[in-house]
Chains A and B, each alone.
Chain A
Amino acid sequence: MISLIMLIPGVVIPAVVGWLIIDLLEWDTSVIGRYEKWVMGFVFGMTFSMFCVFAGNVWLGIPLTLVGFAMIFAGLLVVLGAAWGIRRGRFMTSVKAGAPPGRPYIADVMHSTPRPMMIALAVMGGWVLIRLLAMAGDTAVTPTFFDDAMDNWNLRGKLFFLQEKFSLAFPWDPSPGVSSYPPTVPLSKTWLSTLAGGWHEGLVNMIHVVWFACLLALVYWTLRRMLSWEWSALGTIILASLPLELIHGMSPYADVFLSLHIFVGVSLLFHALKDRGHESQGVSRNAPTYLRLSAFAIALIPFTKNEGWALYFPVLAFLYAATLGWLVYRKTMTVRQVMMTAGFALLLAVIIAGPWIAFKFANGLAFGNAKGLDLNFRWQPGVFASVIVNTFLEGNWGLLMPLFFGLLIARWRSAFRSPLLLLSAFILIPYLGQLFLYHFTGLSTEAILQTGYARGLIHLMPVIVVLTVLLLHDVILGRVESGQRKVESGQ
C-alpha cells in the first residue's frame, strides 16, 4: 500500500514538467483551462520526461537510479522553469490573452435539459463510475494478467529497473522483437519502481489507470469547448462505458496510452480549425497556440508505440499541413504565422521524434508492429466476417459503431463539409487503411483471430466518440452550425 502512494509523486513531478511545457507553448495566449493544463501536462510531461530519461541513459550514461531520475527531472525543471520565468517577466504586466475553456460556443444548448434526462445521465455516470473504481481497485491489488504486459511492457520496465539501465536485450534473448517498441511505457514503470524502491505490480499497473482517467477528462474538456456540460459528460460516459475500452484503460497495455497522445494531437488541431477566439482583423491568436500544442503532442506519438510512427504520424502530419493550408486560405492565420508554426512543428518532430527514429535505424529495430507484412496482395477470406463480428456483434463497443456509421451517413454534410472533416478524415484514413491491409495482406490473421483489429479501434476510439457526440448533437438539436455562425458573427 505504501508503494501505491508513490504514484502521487510519480505523477505530480512529470505533471509539473508538462505544465511548464504547455504554459511555454501557449506563450502569450492561454487556450488550455486551469485543470486541463495539469491533466494534459501530466500526459506531455511523463512522455517527454521519459524521452529525456531514455536519451540521458543511452547517450549520456545517466543511470536509471533515483539519482539518475532526479538529475533528469531537476534538469528539466530548471531549464523549463528558467524559460517560464523569463517568459513570465516579459509578460508580467499583461494577463495572458486567450480565454480558457468553460465558455463554449453554444452556451445555452441544454439549459432546458428535461429532468428525466438529467436523472438518466446521472445514473449512467454513477454506474460507469462504480465500474471504473471497482476495476481500478482490482488493478491495484491483483497481479499482471495479460500476455503483452508480461512479454513486453511490464517485463522491460522491470528489467530496466533491475539493471538500472536501458537495454535492448533480455538475459534469455539477445534481440527480442519487442525491443523495437518505444520504451516510454516501460520507463514510466521503471520511474515509479525507482521511487518506491521496489517493483510493485499494483503501482506499475496503476499508471495506466491514471492515463485512462486523463483521457476521459480530456475528452470531456474537448467537447466542453463546443457543447454544454451535459453533452460533454455524455461523451465521457460513452467512452468509459465501452467494455473493451474500459478493459484496455485498466490494463498495462500501450494502446490507450497511444490513443491518448493521438487524441490530444487531433483535438488540439481541431480546436485550431474551429476556435475563433481573440481574433484581430480576422486573424486568430488562438489557432497558432493550439497548433504549437498539437505539434508537441504529434511529435511525442512516435515515442509511444510502433503504430504511432508507422500509421498515425504520417496521417497527422498530412492533416496538420492541410489545416495550415486551410487556415491561411481562410485568412485565419497569416502566411508568416503559418510558416512560423510549420517550422516550429518540424523542429519539434526533429528534436523529439528524430532521436528515437535514428536510434531505431542505428540498432536495426523494426518499425511495424513486429509482424512481417506480406505484400503479395490478394483477397483474404474470413476477414470481412470477423470484422463485422468484432465491430457489431460482440460486446466490445456496445451500440456505438452502428450509431457512428449511421450518423456519418445521415449527417454527411456536417461530417465532411465542416471542420468536422478533420475528425472524419483522421478516423477514416487509418481505419480504411487498416481494413485494406487486413483484407488483402498476410496481416489478415490479426483480424481473423481478433488479435489486432480491435487495437486499431482503441487508438481511434476517443476521436470516434467525440465525432459521434458532435454529430448526435447536430442531428438532435441541429444547432452546431447555427451556434457557430452566431459566435462567428459576434453574437
Chain B
Amino acid sequence: MPTAALAMTETVWNFLDGQVPGGDSWRYSGIDVPQTTPEGLRVTASNDDGSMLVDLALPHPTQVVYITLASRTDETAKFLWHRRADVPGNLLELPFTITGGGTEQTVALDLDPYPQWDARTDAIGLSFPQGSDVLLREIRFSHWNIFDQTMEVAKSFWIFPKFNPYNINFIWGPVITFNPVGTESIFSTLPPRGRSGMWLLYAALIVVAGGLIAYGIWKGKKQSLVVIFFLAYAAVWILFDVRMGAEILSYVKNDYDTYLSKPMGQRIFRTYLSFNDMMDRTAPWLEDVEELGVLRETSPIIAMTRYFSLPATVVEPDGPRPDVKLWLVYHRDDVTVDGEGRLTVGGVPWSAPGRIVEQLDTRAFLFRTTQQ
C-alpha cells in the first residue's frame, strides 16, 4: 500500500490485526508456522536458524527499511535481499540488533551507503537465530524525493565528527548522506555511513570544466577560460576550507566545553573520556611511590597510564604483590576490598591492607596501602 508523503514515498506493510502483506508469497525456512495475532505476526525459530522471504515489486525505489518488532530476548537478526542481477537464491544480508524486553522497537536500516544494495530489489526477507521468538508488526520501505535528498546532502556535508586518535593518520572530511536516517547516524560507525563529500566538489569542478571547454570550442578563446577554471577551483577550495576549518574549530570548542571548562572530577577528554581526569587525580598519590599497580580490563589505557604515571613505574602483576603501595583498579568487577582491607582479585588477597583513597568513576578507584 504505497502512501505518498510530502517528504518521501513510502510503502507500509502492516502485520497487525492478523494481516500478512505479501500473503502466500512468503517462503519460510527453519521457522515454525507463523501465527497471525492482533499484535502482529509471531515468528519463532525453535529448532534451527530461520528465515522468511517474500517477492517484492514496489512502485518506488527504497533507501531505508524500518522494521517494527518486539522480542523478549536480545537477538541479532538479519535483513536479507536479492539483487535483480544476481542468480535466484543468492541473497545479501545486513545484521541488526533486536533489544529484548518485549517492548516495541523500530529498527531503521539505512541501505543507501551499501553499494551492494539494490534500491529496486525483487525479494527481501528476515533471518532470525535459533531460539528467536519475535513479534513482527510493521515493515516500511521509504524513499525520499530529489529535493529532500538534496537537503540531506547539504545538511550532512556540515556535520562534523569528534576528534579521534586515528585523525593523526586521516580525517574523514565531508561525508554526505541522502536520507535523514543516514544523516542522524552519519559518524556513529566506522567507516561513516555515507559517501565522500569530495565527490560533490569534484562533480562541481567537472561541470565547470566541461562548460568552459564547450564554450572555448564554440568561441575559440583559451587563456581567459583557464583563469576562470582556476577561479572556480578556488571557490570550491574555499567551500572545502570553510567546512574543514569549522570542523577543526569544533574540536577546540569541544575541548573547552567538555574538558577545560569543567572542574576536576567532571572532565571528559575526547575519546579517552574521563581517563585524563583520573590520571590528574591520581598524580598527587604518585609522589611517594615507585610503582603503580594496575588492574584493568582489556583496554588500551596501559601505555597512557605508563606515560602519565612517570616517574612511578606501572606494574601489572600476575599474582599478589604486598609490596606495591598504590593500585589503580580500572573497570575490573572481580577486584574488591576484603574485610581486612586488602585488595582481592577473584577473592585472593593481592595487596597489603589499605583503603580506597579516590573513587575515580563508578567502576574505577585508587587503592593505597597503609604501610609506609
Contacts and interface: CB of A to CB of B under 8 A. Distances in A.
Contacts of A145: 163, 165, 269-270, 272
Given A172-B313, A246-B248, A476-B230, A393 B307 contact: no
B260 interface: yes
Contacts of A247: 167-168, 171, 248
Interface in A250-287: 251, 253
A215 to B, nearest CB: 17
Interface residues of A, number: 54
Contact of A124 (B167, B170, B238): B238
B270 A394 contact: no
A172 B168 CA distance: 26
Given A146-B168, A395-B172, A399-B233, A134 B249 contact: yes
A155 B307 contact: yes
Contacts of A127: 241-242, 245
A102 B120 CA distance: 65
A273 to B, nearest CB: 27
Contacts of A393: 173, 196, 198-199
Given A127-B245, A142-B259, A402 B202 contact: yes
A134 B311 CA distance: 31
Contacts of B331: none
B314 to A, nearest CB: 7
B304 A150 contact: yes
B297 to A, nearest CB: 19
A171 B307 CA distance: 12
A154 B307 contact: yes
B252 A135 contact: yes
B241 A241 contact: yes
B245 A476 contact: no
B327 to A, nearest CB: 17
A248 B168 contact: yes
B248 A131 contact: yes
A460 interface: no
Contacts of B264: none
Contact of A130 (B199, B249, B310): B249
A489 interface: no
B306 interface: yes
Given A120-B238, A151-B303, A396 B173 contact: yes
B196 A172 contact: no
B227 interface: yes
B244 A146 contact: no
Contacts, number: 134
A172 B314 contact: yes
Main DSSP-derived SS at the A contact region: helix
A120 B245 contact: no
A453 to B, nearest CB: 8
Contacts of A389: 196
A199 B108 CA distance: 50
A421 B21 CA distance: 69
Contacts of B244: 241, 243, 395, 398
A244 B196 contact: no
A138 B171 contact: no
Contacts of B171: 243-244, 247, 394-396
A398 B237 contact: yes
Which among A137, A138, A146, A253 has the greatest number of chain B C-beta atoms within 10 A?
Answer: A138
Contacts of B307: 144, 150-151, 154-155, 158
Interface in B231-248: 233-234, 236-238, 240-242, 244-245, 247-248
Contacts of B236: 399
Contacts of B166: 450
B372 interface: no
Given A120-B238, A171-B313, A147 B303 contact: yes
B75 interface: no
A171 B196 CA distance: 45
Contacts of A134: 248-249, 252
Contacts of A450: 166, 169-170
A135 to B, nearest CB: 6
A347 interface: no
A475 B229 CA distance: 12
B170 A392 contact: no
A390 interface: yes
A491 interface: no
Contacts of B170: 244, 390, 394, 396, 450, 454
Contacts of B165: 145-147
Given A127-B242, A135-B252, A472-B230, A451 B169 contact: yes
A455 B307 CA distance: 24
Contacts of B259: 142
Which among B163, B311, B315 has the greatest number of chain A C-beta atoms within 10 A?
Answer: B311
Contacts of A390: 170
A155 B244 CA distance: 31
B169 A454 contact: yes
21 contacts: A130-B245, A130-B249, A135-B252, A142-B269, A145-B165, A145-B270, A147-B303, A150-B306, A150-B308, A162-B310, A241-B244, A243-B171, A243-B244, A247-B167, A392-B198, A394-B170, A394-B171, A399-B233, A399-B240, A472-B230, A475-B230
Given A144-B307, A394-B172, A398-B244, 16 more contacts: A127-B242, A131-B248, A135-B251, A143-B276, A171-B313, A172-B314, A247-B168, A251-B168, A393-B199, A395-B173, A399-B201, A450-B170, A454-B170, A475-B226, A475-B230, A476-B227
